Amino acid sequence: MKTNQLRDIQSEPDHRKLPIDKVGVKDIKYPVVVLDKDEGSQHTVAKVNMYVNLPHQFRGTHMSRFVEILNRYRNGISTKNIREILEEMRTQLDSETAHFEIEFPYFITKSAPVSGEKAKMEYTCRLIANSDVDYYMIEVKVPVLSLCPCSKEISAFGAHNQRSIITMQIEAKEKIWIEDIIAIAESSASSEIYSILKREDEKYITEKSYENPVFVEDIVRIAAEKLIQTKGVLWFSVESENMESIHNHSAYAQICMSLKENKE
C-alpha cells in the first residue's frame, strides 16, 4: 500500500468535544547552537519540548512533524529564529497556538579570583516561547555562596554558610545575554563560586563571603533591584534556595514583578 493511501487516524473526527491545550513531544535530546557573548556561539545539547493546541474536532496531532520542523533548524536555534519555529509549528500542524521550550547546559570560562586558574562553569538555562505572546522568556539557574548574617552576629567564631541556587526568569523585549543574567545573580550573593580553586582562592572567597553576609531575602531583593534597572526587562521572577548547612531544610524566597507599564 502506498503512503498516500494509508489511513490518517489522527485527522479523523473526535466526538467528545474536548479541546486539548497542549499536545506534542517532550524531552527530545538535540544538538543546538546558542548565542555566546564572548565567542559568538556555543554548541550544546538541549532537551526540547514542542507543543500545539488541538481543536476538539480532531482526534490527534501529527507527532512526526514536530521533529521534522526541529531538524530544519539543526544548524542553530536562538532568539533570532524562535518566532519562525513557532509559526512553522502552527502552520504545519493546523493549530492556533504553539509552545516551544529548550533546556540546555551553558558553559562559561571563569578565572579563579587570585590564582587566575581557568575552568569551565556550567549553568542550566531554559528558553521558553509562545506564539500568542510577543516576547520570549529565558531562565537561568546560578549556583552561588551565601553566608548567614545572624550566624555571624551571634557567633564568637566564624559563621555558617550554604550553597545556594538563584533561579532567574526574565521576559524581555530585546536580547539579554545569559552572561549578564549570571553576573546579576552572582553579584547578589555573598560570593560567586568556581570550578577550580587554589588555596589562595579559597582564602579569598572565605573572607569575601564573611564580609558580605546575606539572608535569602537579601539575595532576591538585591537581584530584583538590579533587574528593575536592566534595559528591556518587562517581567521577571527571581528566587533563591539556600541549602542550609546546619538545618535539615532549605531557606527559600521569591520576587515576581511586571515592569511592562513602565517599559513598553
Shortest CA distance to 127 belongs to which of 214, 15, 47? 47
Boundary-marking domain end, from 71, 92, 107 = 107
Phi–psi pair at 234, nearest 5 degrees: -105, -30
pLDDT band at 1 (very low <50, low <70, confident <90, very high): very low
pLDDT band at 263 (very low <50, low <70, confident <90, very high): low
Range of the domain at 61: 11-107
The three three-digit cell numbers of residue 33, written as one number:
547552537
Task: Say what the alpha-carbon torsion angle 32, 33, 35, 37 is, to the nearest 10 degrees.
Answer: 120
Please report the DSSP string for 94-121 in residue order.
Answer: T-S-EEEEEEEEEEEEEE-TTT--EEEE
Helix (H) or strand (E) holding 165: strand 161-172
The model carries a pTM of 0.87
Same domain, 139 and 263: yes
Q: What is the per-residue pLDDT for 245?
A: 85
pLDDT band at 86 (very low <50, low <70, confident <90, very high): very high
Number of domains in the chain: 2
Cβ within 8 Å of residue 259, ≥6 positions away: 228, 233, 234, 235, 236
Q: What is the per-residue pLDDT for 189?
A: 97
CATH code for the domain of 60: 3.10.270.10
Same domain, 121 and 220: yes
Same domain, 171 and 245: yes
Given its phi and psi angles, is residue 24 left (phi above 0), alpha (psi -120 to 50 degrees) or beta?
Answer: left
pLDDT band at 19 (very low <50, low <70, confident <90, very high): confident
